Structure 1
Amino acid sequence: MRLFVALHLPPALREALSLLRGSMPGVEWVPAPNYHISLRFIGEITDRHVMQEIDLALGRLSWKPFEATLTGALLKEGSTMDSLALGVERSSELDTLQSQIESLLRRAGLSPAKRRFQPHVTLGHLRTTERPAAIRWVQSHNLFRGKPMQIEHVTLFESLRGYEEQIYVPRAEYAWNPALQLSVEDE
């Protein structure tokens, strides 16, 4: 299983973001159900014991609900592919939650995260040769600001390879208060 921990965006926000699809030719747009804010990429896990340790670790999360807001367009440059994304307004609450996840997963035996935490929502991917057009897209969407969303749980996702696209399947949700029981929403 290829796993990651993220904030699943509310359906209304995913729908609003999906309106940006097609606003630039040549982009492989991410399907709206896959929009999320990654908190920690875990990677390929095949050992059932490690899966249980991850679940136990994430079950220990505890924080107070807070709001997060998407703001400003970004171009995330890569060596062969770039990504169009929206940033997430940084807050001490978001940073503390991500740090707690990192700490709990490391204590569960996972290696440290390979990338520095930079919260964002990826909207699409494009070839690096399209970078000038992508820069213009970012400039025209740089004032984007979403409605604040309430953060009350985090989701453990499995990434599956579908026909021509990735499919992200929610496997478990972890509430802000470990005493709360959540069920994965069906979509």
Structure 2
Amino acid sequence: MRLFVALDLSPSQREALALLRGTLPGVQWVPSENYHLALRFIGEITDRYVMGEIDLALSRLSWTPFEISFSGAGLREGTTADSLTIGIERSTALETLQAQVEKTLRKAGCPPAKRRFQPSVTLGHLATSQRADAARWVQRHNLFRSEPMSVEHVTLFESLRGYDQHVYVAQAEYAWHPEMPLLPEDE
């Protein structure tokens, strides 16, 4: 299983971000159902014991609910492809939650993260030769701001390879307080 931990976005946030996609030629737009704010990429996990340790560790996360807002557009440059992104306003609460996820996963046996945490949502991918077009897209959308979204759970996703896109499947959700059930208990 190829896993990552992320904040799943609300339907209204997904819709607001989907409206930014536009008609830039040559961009492979990410389907709105795949929008998320990645907190930590875990990688390929084949050992059931390690998977159990990850689940147990994430179930012990505890934080106070907070809000995030999207703010501004960006271009994440890569060696073979670039990504169009929408940024997240930085907050101490978000940084603290991400650091807690990182620490928790390390204790569960995961190696340290390879990349520094840069909160954003990827909307599309394009060739590095299209950077001038991408810069114009960033200029057009740089003043974008969203309504705040409440963060009350984190999600463990599995990344499946689809025909032409990855498909992200939620495997588990973890509430802001370990004692709080996410689903109402059967009576």
Q: Which residue of 2 aligns with 1:116?
A: 116
CA contact (8 A) 2:71 2:146 kept: yes
**Number of paired residues?**
183
Q: Which residue of 1 aligns with 2:84?
A: 84
User: Deviation digits for residues 63-110 of structure 1, max 9, x if unmatched?
Assistant: 000000110000000001000000000000000000000001001111
Q: Which residue of 1 aligns with 2:170?
A: 170
Q: Structure 2 regions of 5+ residues with no counterpart?
A: none
Q: Which residue of 1 aligns with 2:141?
A: 141
Structure 1 residue identity aligned to 2:92: S
Between the aligned partners of 2:147 and 2:160, the Cα distance in structure 1 is 30
Q: Which residue of 1 aligns with 2:29?
A: 29
Q: Which residue of 1 aligns with 2:129?
A: 129
Regions of 4+ moved over 2 Å: none
Q: Which residue of 2 aligns with 1:46?
A: 46
Q: Structure 1 regions of 5+ residues with no counterpart?
A: none
Between the aligned partners of 2:3 and 2:159, the Cα distance in structure 1 is 6
Between the aligned partners of 1:37 and 1:12, the Cα distance in structure 2 is 15
CA contact (8 A) 2:20 2:141 kept: no
TM-score (norm 1): 0.96
Higher alpha-carbon deviation: 18-27 or 108-117: 18-27
Q: Which residue of 2 aligns with 1:9?
A: 9
Between the aligned partners of 1:62 and 1:27, the Cα distance in structure 2 is 38
Sequence identity (%): 67
Structure 1 residue identity aligned to 2:50: V
Between the aligned partners of 2:102 and 2:62, the Cα distance in structure 1 is 13
Q: Which residue of 2 aligns with 1:56?
A: 56
TM-score (norm 2): 0.96
Structure 1 vs Structure 2 CA RMSD: 0.7
Secondary structure in 2 matching 1:109: coil
CA contact (8 A) 2:4 2:43 kept: yes
How far off is 1:4 after superposition? 0.2
Secondary structure in 1 matching 2:56: helix
Between the aligned partners of 1:27 and 1:69, the Cα distance in structure 2 is 25
Between the aligned partners of 1:96 and 1:21, the Cα distance in structure 2 is 30
User: Deviation digits for residues 14-41 of structure 1, max 9, x if unmatched?
Assistant: 0121112233121000000000000000
Q: Which residue of 1 aligns with 2:20?
A: 20
Between the aligned partners of 1:74 and 1:22, the Cα distance in structure 2 is 15
Secondary structure in 2 matching 1:95: helix
Secondary structure in 2 matching 1:117: coil
Between the aligned partners of 1:143 and 1:20, the Cα distance in structure 2 is 12
Structure 1 residue identity aligned to 2:148: P
